[in-house]
Amino acid sequence: MNIKGYVQQAVKKVAQLVTWLVGLCLRELIREYVIPYVKEIFWSFFDE
C-alpha cells in the first residue's frame, strides 16, 4: 500500500473515533442536563 492510501485510511479511522467519542459525550450531556431541563419545563406547563 502506498503512503497516501495509508494516510487516508489512518485519517478515516481517527475521524470515526473522534465522531464516536463526541457522540458518546453528547449522549451523556443530553441524558444528564437536557432531559431533566426539558422535563422541568414540560411539567411546569401542566402545573399552571
Half-sphere exposure of 11 (CA within 13 A, CB side): 6
pLDDT, one tens digit per residue, over 1-48 is: 699 999 999 999 999 999 999 999 999 999 999 999 999 999 998 887
Residue 7: in which H helix or E strand, if any? helix 3-29
Q: Is the dihedral of CA 10, 16, 22, 28 positive or negative?
A: negative
The pTM for the full model equals 0.58
C-alpha grid cell, residue 4 = 497516501
CA distance 14 to 36: 33
Instruction: Say how far apart CA 5 and CA 10 lie, in whole Å.
Output: 9
Q: Where are the domains of the chain?
A: 1-48
